[in-house]
Structure 1
């Protein structure tokens, strides 16, 4: 079945980019997608443009939001390309509408909503935790404010879903309407344009990553990868660890320019001399085994892997000093070919980092207001829902096309 007709949806239905659970489609994407990337937006894809009913308000404390911009996240692309781990599958409910990076406008409020009003411009904090699910006795993580690690994401008044954009009852940002609990909604200051506001959710993740690193003053930090997450990590470092030195690795020229503008002191390209250049900047000494890449003695105090590919994880372990810290910011999936020897030998402290708490999200709203002129240009392309194929293709090739963040403008 092809896409719905272009133009206004019919009979109260709305357009949405939806994920449909299908083992054959998943396997096709995983096995054939790298040879034929067009599969990801073909009729054989797990993603499709569909006409769906707008989700009803699940309860009195919920509001309806019309997305103004919704970002395409690397986790969305990994889901469509079947490159991620099946780890999260039990914590979703299908068919779900993609989109958890959202700036939108409140269109309707339930009788119990007090935090926002119709017409407010808001950003969405996506975790669907105990309070959102109206569970009376919160789990231990939620009770301590660690709502990202809620143990009840399959229980409560809505279907399973770790976040908005992965739950069939809430809808998502890649549509013309979603529903959210009032606790998920944060007003956006008037001076913050939509293009900066849509980056607040990933910015909050990067602030949390820097908090997780516990960086001492005067530390040298290394940021691997300068896509959206890498660049926002540089912003977060400048704010949360202002005395740290920031060295970044960026593949493309526009990424190197952005990294320098956002606060990185030194930037290295990904060419054949990358490791030698890194060693020089980090004061590390390279030793070459008979086979394989060089071994670094010394390195960064803290490394942020904002890609989490086989190659970047390997480099993160190699170019972090003994007893240093590696923060895995990118979504790693199931990496193969990573040499874990450096991690073991150097006694590295490897830490994951996932989304953020509400306090950190609120700080990201303030930071976005302060840095709007720097953040807004990172949104390089925005597409209507009807152009979903072009949007996803652009996002999957963003770096080579000179683009950082790609978004939908429903």
Structure 2
């Protein structure tokens, strides 16, 4: 079968590898769609992962956002049958995280599900959901965990920095949670238009608007612990990872506001601890999806039209190198999904 791995720095290769043979406790999935993530870009920029002798780089089998259909089921597997459409928990593989340094990658024609257990390593989704939308399951679980960590209430006023897939996913989950006012901040007009299309109440173009002034206008006036004027924003979500976000939030946070950090930080800024003290700002880190990986699956199906708006490009597997180049070029795409033939 064909599989995508990291090649030279900044490049991928489509290689021939043996098609997996499932054991009695395993299942085999024919991959039908797989998303490209910023984590893939990290491996490309490094040219692999430093698992070789002396920390040398070795290729990485890419793809941790697959959706597909079951083509073989081991005799000991319960709850799965050939033809089921499934999404996968990349962190459920005993051989290592799928597409993130483990031996398996979801950007392949077939993917072995080791120790296939429904609800742990794999979940079935309805055949009414397109495979490309189902491939959003993993990143939407990341976004859902972020929102869960925020403990946002319906009466809260929230701002999301970054209108990439995670930020937009967070905006969707916030609105589905009943949060009354959600603002999305970005500097790419097309992404801000998508934010409004998926349900954000307002957007801010940080390249030409004063973010703090606009938040005060949208969320009303408030103050920090010293009575200094601040926007009435209750929760800030960092889905951008830019140093400017931390700087903006610490300067703008009102008394007892929260900052939820879900983005991989591109560069850690000097944090104004005094400003955090003056607002009693709570910093909450959000990593992965401890419980959310399949919590989101039925809701993804129910609200599939809304989530489908996050996909900007669908690229055939035969053109995978172009798909990765597109996904990793700043501003060129929102969410790229690689699609596979029926086989």
Return the offset for 1:285. 7.8
1:366 aligns with 2:302: no
Q: Structure 2 length normalisation: TM-score?
A: 0.85
The Cα of 1:167 is off from its aligned counterpart by: 4.1
- Tell me which moved more, 318-327 or 112-121: 318-327
Give the Cα separation in 2 of the matches to 1:356 and 1:282.
Answer: 30
Q: Distance in 2 between matches of 1:299 and 1:394?
A: 38
CA contact (8 A) 1:298 1:322 kept: no
Cα deviations by residue, 1:197-245 (Å, 9 ceiling, x for unpaired): 11121112211111111123311101101111111111110122x0431
State the match for 2:53 in structure 1: none
Residue 299 of structure 1 deviates from its aligned partner by: 4.3
Instruction: Name the SS of the counterpart of 1:267 in structure 2.
Output: strand
Distance (Å, rounded) in 2 between the aligned partners of 1:255 and 1:368: 20
Q: 1:113 to 1:304 in 2, by over 3 A?
A: same
* Aligned positions of 1:241-390 closer than 5 A: 242-275=178-211, 276-284=213-221, 297-336=230-269, 339-358=272-291, 360-390=292-322
What is the TM-score normalised by the length of structure 1? 0.72
- Whole-angstrom distance in 1 between the partners of 2:151 and 2:253: 15
2:336 maps to 1:406: yes
C-alpha contact (below 8 Å) 2:311/2:337 kept by paired residues: yes
- Which ranges in structure 1 are unaligned for 5 or more consecutive residues? 1-13, 26-38, 42-46, 87-92, 134-157, 287-294
Contact 1:107 1:118 (C-alpha < 8 Å) held by counterparts = yes
**Partner residue in 2 for 1:30:** none
The whole-number CA distance in structure 2 between the counterparts of 1:334 and 1:271 is 20
SS in 1 for 2:109: coil
Counting only pairs closer than 5 Å after superposition, residues 129-208 of structure 1 correspond to structure 2 as: 133=94, 158=95, 161=96, 163-169=97-103, 171-181=104-114, 182-183=116-117, 184-208=121-145
**Who is 1:10 aligned against?**
none
What's the counterpart of residue 101 of structure 1? 65
| RMSD of Structure 2 on Structure 1 (CA) | 2.8
2:172 aligned to which of 235, 240, 245: 235
Checking the alignment, whether the CA contact within 8 Å between 1:123 and 1:198 is kept in structure 2 is: yes
- 1:95 Cα offset (Å): 3.8
CA displacement at 1:375 relative to structure 2:
1.6
CA contact (8 A) 2:222 2:230 kept: yes
Query: Which residue does the alignment assign to 2:54?
Result: none
Corresponding position: 1:127 with 2:91: yes
SS in 1 for 2:218: helix
| Cα distance in 1 between the residues matched to 2:299 and 2:220 | 32
Tell me by how many angstroms 1:353 deviates: 1.2
User: Shift in Å at residue 82 of structure 1?
Assistant: 4.1
Deviation of the 1:367 alpha carbon? 1.0
Post-superposition CA distance 1:244-268 (Å, at most 9, x none): 3111112222222221122211111
2:2 to 4, 15, 18: 15
Shift of 1:283: 3.2
